[in-house]
């Protein structure tokens, strides 16, 4: 556990992996929408059948800067109709769970702009406002975390002696692999519910934190972390058996590995992308990172990260040739919207001096 210095080491952490409690379902209206991508496909679909969109992200801007971020979970389009103030726009009624980012304002600015994005950060349009977004909601109950077998430094002992002084403070929990490399960071609150001699014996201490923090890895991530704990993967396609959420967790560990092992950029050459398992957006980025940098490689985990990587600083820079084998797997799997995420990626590569060969 660290802030600016080492506070202690722990043998294990109970409660690190926890599935978030889904927020209550709500009905919201996206007013004055100019839809793109998957959202446009949903509103243009004939009939009144509902359309499943997955998760959408709302970034509220007070140009030129963003002021807050919201996540709409498991979005379902219920209906849509022309906007009264502008028939060229549409009002879209959706059902979703609503989460507010821990950072940013909870009220809309005077002249806001609502930007909408979907899987991988790909834009799906913008709207004038979102009715119901700023309604009051109860804060979720914190989930405790147990630090097992802690060897505290004097700094942490001072916290344990006067825990009330540190209520509301925070520290970082660093997960290390078997070679001592940092796998991931996780922010935890320092509200200490209790501390006692460890069940592991000796001078070790077990510490219960009242709030183990937000954005914990889900339960399905445990075997993925076990794989990375044994060291950086060396076998291709180890990410392939996992679902989309598991593949996203794989990418989260890959990005931490990359930040600790930056290398000079190389250009030119031919890279082969194994497309057999590219059945979702996270899978596409897993395969892309592996094609360019080898097993466990990172080259973005969404649209924004991918475009950043292509600008350089992540080991490979254009021009180069990418041979995408079994490209039809991704073409079919990501074809729900037009242009599809697959087409967007290929087009962006070609626009940035990458020769893409689809096979």
User: What is the domain-level CATH number for residue 297?
Assistant: 3.30.370.10
Note whether residue 207 is domain-resident. Answer: yes
Helix %, strand %, coil % for the chain, to 5? 25, 35, 40
Contact 18, 27 (CB under 8 A): no
Choosing from 150, 184, 216, the residue where a domain stops is 216
Amino acid 256: pLDDT: 85
Looking at the structure, tell me whether residues 179 and 122 fall in a common domain.
no
Looking at the structure, tell me whether residues 39 and 121 fall in a common domain.
yes
Looking at the structure, tell me whether residues 155 and 14 fall in a common domain.
yes
Looking at the structure, tell me whether residues 241 and 353 fall in a common domain.
yes
Tens of pLDDT along the chain (359 residues)? 544 688 999 999 999 999 988 899 999 999 999 999 889 988 887 665 567 888 999 999 887 777 888 999 999 999 999 999 999 999 999 999 999 875 555 667 777 889 999 877 889 999 999 999 989 888 888 889 999 999 999 989 998 999 888 888 888 999 999 999 999 989 998 899 999 999 999 999 999 999 898 889 999 999 999 999 999 999 999 999 999 999 999 999 999 887 656 678 999 999 999 999 999 999 999 999 999 999 999 999 999 999 999 999 899 999 999 999 999 999 999 987 667 899 999 999 999 999 999 99
Note whether residue 226 is domain-resident. Answer: yes
Amino acid 331: pLDDT: 96
Note whether residue 3 is domain-resident. Answer: no
Amino acid 264: pLDDT: 85
Domains in the chain, number: 3
Choosing from 179, 200, 216, the residue where a domain stops is 216
Reduced to 3 states (helix: H, G, I; strand: E, B; else coil), residue 139 is coil
Looking at the structure, tell me whether residues 235 and 287 fall in a common domain.
yes
Question: What range defines the domain where residue 179 resides?
Answer: 8-19+140-216
Looking at the structure, tell me whether residues 121 and 147 fall in a common domain.
no
Half-sphere exposure of 60 (CA within 13 A, CB side): 23
Note whether residue 2 is domain-resident. Answer: no
Residue 233 to residue 294: CA distance in whole angstroms: 9
Please name which of 232, 205, 212, 196 lies closest in space to residue 9, comparing C-alpha atoms: 205
Contact 198, 192 (CB under 8 A): no
């Amino acid at each position: 556990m660290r802030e600016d210095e080492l506070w202690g080491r722990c043998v294990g952490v109970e409660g690190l992996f926890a599935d978030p409690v889904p927020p209550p379902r709500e009905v919201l209206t996206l007013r004055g929408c100019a839809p793109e991508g998957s959202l446009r496909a949903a509103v243009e679909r004939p009939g009144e059948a509902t359309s499943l969109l997955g998760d959408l992200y709302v970034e509220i801007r007070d140009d030129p800067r963003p002021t807050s971020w919201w996540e709409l979970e498991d979005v379902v389009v219920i209906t849509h109709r022309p906007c009264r103030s502008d028939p060229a726009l549409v009002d879209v009624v959706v059902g979703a769970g609503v989460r507010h980012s821990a950072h940013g304002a909870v009220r809309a600015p005077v002249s806001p702009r609502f930007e909408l994005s979907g899987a991988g950060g790909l834009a799906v349009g913008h709207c004038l406002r979102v009715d119901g977004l700023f309604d009051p909601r109860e804060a979720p109950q914190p989930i405790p975390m147990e630090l097992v077998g802690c060897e505290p430094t004097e700094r942490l002992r001072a916290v344990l002696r006067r825990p009330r002084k540190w209520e509301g403070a925070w520290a970082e929990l660093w997960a290390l692999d078997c070679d001592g490399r940092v796998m991931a960071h996780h922010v935890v609150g320092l509200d200490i519910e209790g501390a006692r001699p460890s069940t592991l014996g000796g001078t070790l201490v077990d510490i219960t934190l009242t709030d183990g923090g937000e954005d914990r890895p889900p339960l399905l991530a445990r075997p993925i972390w076990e794989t990375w704990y044994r060291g950086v993967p060396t076998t291709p396609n180890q990410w392939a058996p996992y679902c989309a959420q598991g593949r996203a967790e794989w990418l989260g560990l890959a990005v931490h590995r990359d930040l600790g092992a930056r290398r000079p950029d190389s250009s030119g050459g031919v890279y082969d992308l194994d497309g057999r398992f590219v059945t979702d957006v996270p899978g596409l980025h897993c395969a892309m990172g592996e094609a360019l940098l080898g097993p466990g490689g990172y080259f973005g985990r969404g649209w924004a990260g991918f475009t950043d990587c292509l600008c350089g600083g992540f080991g490979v820079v254009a021009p180069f040739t990418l041979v995408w084998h079994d490209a039809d797997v991704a073409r079919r799997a990501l074809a729900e919207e037009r242009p599809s995420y697959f087409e967007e990626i290929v087009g962006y590569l070609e626009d940035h001096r990458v020769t893409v060969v689809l096979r």
